[in-house]
Structure 1
Amino acid sequence: MVTKPDKHKGSEEDAEIYGILDKPNIKYVQFGLNQRFGTWYGSNVYFGRVKKTLGFKESNNEHLSRQNCNEKINDNQYWLDTLYVCEYCFKYTDVEAELITHDQLCRYKHKPPGRMVYRSPEYTIRRVKGSKHETFCQCLCLFTKLFLDNKSVYFKVKQFEFYIVYETNSTKPMAFFSKDLYSYHQNNLACILVFPPYQRRKLGTLLIEFSYILSRNQNLVSGPEQPLSPFGLIGYLKFWCYSIVWHLTEGELNAVASVTLNELSEATGFRIPDVIQALKHLKCLSDTEIKLNVVRSWARRNKVSKGFLIKDEYLLLDE
């Protein structure tokens, strides 16, 4: 969602470095025992270099004799009909029976990895360090590549933290974002994905909000890794606009007669270029001022008074 692919997507170089292919090569994902859906993008990172079989099986000299191997698929586009993925730890196989057995034994089915950093009656967010839970984070990144058209890492995860959202009292991950701990620009988000079964629940907005709370906790003005993809920009513009309007109509700036870009940046924690982009999207930025009457009209139409999804009383960042 976040990193925009360049025009050479699908080239041999992209396939070699990032695993990007120009069309899906796995037809379906069986996510846990009860959820099955199609993939959105193609990636070779699950597969070995010599044969179009899962890489760990190629390295173990296993033969491509499984029921879902690509020789058994009528459509030559696909290398694999179904990838079976654990919905708790993201480990994978091409054999349904192996997933069923693993599901009974998965350690994360009963206790997810990482430390709780947010817990509301509805959602819990856990911070998982790539340096501590390397295999879990690598498998998560591999899974992500089937649904994000970007050049994201998938093996070198030690310098990243992953913030994963669960329903409270559930151990099934629903969405996540990653953060590069050594980002030169101090970005607060590198990659974000809401898994297909959990779309349209505002989980993307929840995680974007949380990324800015992390920045606020560090006294940073920050933002996502640039450039944003088209879909990423849509999500961020929606959040930036909402947040700016809230601060101007409900927050500490609601009584001012005029406001500067620096004041908006300080209040929201957004970088000034992001503030400008949002104000232009709101059509409330003139050459000399921010048109507060336009802002207030937008606030009424979009019910800004409801506030934000993340509630400070449920934060566990200082524990």
Structure 2
Amino acid sequence: MLSRHRQRCNLLHPPGNEIYRHEDISFFEIDGKRQLTWCRNLSLLSKCFLDHKTLYYDVTPFMYYVMSKRDSAGCHIIGYFSKEKESADNYNVACILTLPQHQRHGYGKLLIEFSYELSKKEGKLGSPEKPLSDLGLLGYRAYWAEVIVELLINTSDELSIDDIAQKTSITHADIMNTCTTLQLFKHYKGQHIICLSDAVLERHEKTRNKRRRQIYPEHLIWKPPVFTRDQLRFY
């Protein structure tokens, strides 16, 4: 079956626009309406690994952002996330998956980081669609904690929740939940402040030292797609 597939399929990369390239990692943007069969197949593949995934046939309302690793043979898919073309709830991710053989190598966090870089380009706050898988929830919590603590460490000025949201594109609710989980809120002279404890700083340092990869925004060549009313009419 594999040899038959190789004879018929001559694609060496996902069928979309390459919008990011750094070292051996590339991201491709794919319109579910233009690449209907390919995106349906990707969604069906995801259903094998995501228990909660129910939508796999109706792919036209979504854009797909596929991360791949390049070598001399072409681009090999590592994972992807999908995103609604028009989200009433400002979700920046509808479905996210790192293929099992690539899990626990930092690629999940790379996908999450990339989704927030797109939100920054759009000038919007974003959050993933719920429910998340157990692994997805752990990944997001780790990302939010790392980004928020890193920002607080590197900023000498006082920061409000709104300041953090504008700088990171993380929603106010996700920031509040993360700060509460990390016990960053302290009561001081009649008001609540954000304070980094030694334990949080130590944990953050260990996480930062273990991190393998990151997204470099200067390598992202992308403008937010604009859709007309007719283009957002899905049948």
Instruction: Give the TM-score normalised by the residue count of structure 1.
Output: 0.63
| 1:37-186 paired onto structure 2 within 5 Å | 96=1, 99-108=2-11, 110-169=12-71, 170-186=74-90
Residues 305, 192 of structure 1: alpha-carbon distance in 2 compared, 3 angstrom cutoff: closer
How many residue pairs align between the two structures? 217
Considering fraction of residues, name the structure with more strand: 2
Q: Does 1:249 align with 2:153?
A: yes
Q: Residue 121 of structure 2 contacts residue 223 of structure 2 at CA under 8 Å; is this kept in 1? A: no
Q: Does 1:188 align with 2:92?
A: yes
- Counterpart CA distance in 1 for 2:47 and 2:210 is 37
Q: Does 1:269 align with 2:169?
A: yes
- Counterpart CA distance in 2 for 1:242 and 1:307 is 14
SS in 1 for 2:109: helix
Which residue of the partner structure matches residue 317 of structure 1?
Answer: 222
Unaligned 5+ segments in structure 2 are 225-235
Q: Which amino acid aligns with 2:138?
A: I
- TM-superposed deviation, 1:214: 0.7
Candidates 204, 209, 225, aligned match of 1:299: 204
Deviations 1:273-310 (A, max 9, x none): 10011112222123511113445444334337979700
Residues 117, 111 of structure 1: alpha-carbon distance in 2 compared, 3 angstrom cutoff: same
- Counterpart CA distance in 2 for 1:139 and 1:160 is 14
Structure number, greater radius of gyration: 1
Residues 305, 233 of structure 1: alpha-carbon distance in 2 compared, 3 angstrom cutoff: closer
- TM-superposed deviation, 1:100: 1.5
- Counterpart CA distance in 1 for 2:201 and 2:213 is 17
Q: Residue 24 of structure 2 contacts residue 70 of structure 2 at CA under 8 Å; is this kept in 1? A: yes
- Let me know the Cα RMSD of the aligned residues: 2.2
SS in 1 for 2:75: coil
SS in 2 for 1:237: helix
Q: Which amino acid aligns with 1:154?
A: Y
Which residue of the partner structure matches residue 286 of structure 1?
Answer: 186
Instruction: Give the TM-score normalised by the residue count of structure 2.
Output: 0.84
- Counterpart CA distance in 1 for 2:145 and 2:164 is 12
Stretches of 4+ moved more than 6 A in 1?
304-308
Which residue of the partner structure matches residue 229 of structure 2?
Answer: none
Q: Which amino acid aligns with 2:4?
A: T
- TM-superposed deviation, 1:228: 2.9
Unaligned 5+ segments in structure 1 are 1-95
- Counterpart CA distance in 2 for 1:300 and 1:155 is 43
Residues 154, 143 of structure 1: alpha-carbon distance in 2 compared, 3 angstrom cutoff: same
Deviations 1:181-213 (A, max 9, x none): 121112110101111221222111111011111
- TM-superposed deviation, 1:176: 0.6
- TM-superposed deviation, 1:255: 0.5
- Counterpart CA distance in 2 for 1:315 and 1:121 is 13
Deviations 1:50-86 (A, max 9, x none): xxxxxxxxxxxxxxxxxxxxxxxxxxxxxxxxxxxxx
Aligned-pair identity in percent equals: 31
Considering fraction of residues, name the structure with more helix: 2
Q: Residue 188 of structure 1 contacts residue 222 of structure 1 at CA under 8 Å; is this kept in 2? A: yes
Q: Which amino acid aligns with 1:105?
A: R
- TM-superposed deviation, 1:152: 3.4
